[in-house]
């Protein structure tokens, strides 16, 4: 993940505390901006030597338009956003990202990094329920459109004490569309979030079954 993306998320967190306001003051037909910082866990079936490390950090930023329900503090939202997933592999790397079948190869030597990255334009839909003007529970659905995928490996490959840097700016066999269920629990502008992608990241039979369960924190300061 780029340092600028992390800085953006930190700025969102800072703003959430410095500019906090009651939920009811800004839900009636207003545009809001938010950001999530999360880690991914794979719920898909095992695939050859494809295994992820414990922490796989990702980021999501979005803007949403709220529609308040009549005579209640509750509201529905629709928006657009961006999500970037980083899947850090353990003892393997993506050798042939451009081939018909995605192939992961075991790395028997020392390495510093091995990951694949996927990026999406999102269309989120949510229903939010507000309690005591401060607490909120939101449940929804997110439709993702693939922007692209990348892979990166840094480490030794052939027991020759050389460090190889392999990058690919395209990964074949990624699904064009992905679908997720989302849940948030918020206090004012800060919330915990969970998202489950129930569709596969790769096309069936052409790569590992990656169905990320994303757990993290987020803010909606604006």
The answer to whether residue 182 scores a pLDDT higher than 80 is: yes
Give residue-wise pLDDT tens across range 8-62.
544 554 544 444 444 545 555 588 899 999 999 999 987 778 889 999 999 999 9
* Residue 176: predicted pLDDT: 97
The domains located in the chain, with CATH, are 3-219 (2.40.160)
* Residue 57: predicted pLDDT: 96
Single pTM value for the model: 0.83
The answer to whether residue 166 scores a pLDDT higher than 50 is: yes
* Residue 39: predicted pLDDT: 98
Mean pLDDT of the chain: 87
* Residue 193: predicted pLDDT: 97
* Residue 21: predicted pLDDT: 45
Taking the CB of residue 82, how many other CB atoms lie within 10 A of it? 16
* Residue 11: predicted pLDDT: 52
């Amino acid at each position: 993940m780029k340092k600028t993306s992390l800085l953006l998320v930190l700025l969102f967190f800072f703003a959430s505390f410095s500019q906090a306001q009651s939920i009811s003051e800004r839900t009636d037909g207003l545009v809001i901006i938010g950001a999530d910082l999360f880690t991914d866990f794979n719920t898909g079936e095992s695939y050859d030597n494809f295994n992820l490390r414990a922490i796989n950090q990702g980021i999501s930023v979005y803007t949403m338009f709220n529609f308040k329900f009549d005579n209640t503090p509750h509201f529905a939202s629709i928006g657009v956003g961006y999500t970037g997933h980083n899947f850090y592999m353990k003892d393997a790397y993506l050798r042939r990202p451009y081939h018909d079948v995605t192939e992961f190869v075991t790395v028997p030597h020392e390495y510093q990094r091995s990951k694949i990255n996927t990026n999406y334009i999102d269309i989120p839909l949510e229903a939010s329920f507000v309690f005591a003007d401060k607490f909120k529970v939101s449940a929804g659905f997110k439709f993702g459109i693939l922007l692209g995928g990348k892979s990166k490996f840094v480490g030794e490959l052939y027991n020759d004490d050389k460090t190889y840097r392999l990058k690919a700016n395209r990964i074949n066999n990624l699904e064009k569309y992905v679908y997720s269920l989302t849940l948030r629990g918020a206090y004012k502008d800060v919330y915990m979030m969970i998202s489950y992608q129930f569709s596969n990241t790769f096309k069936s039979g052409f790569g590992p079954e990656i169905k990320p369960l994303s757990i993290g924190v987020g803010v909606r300061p604006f």
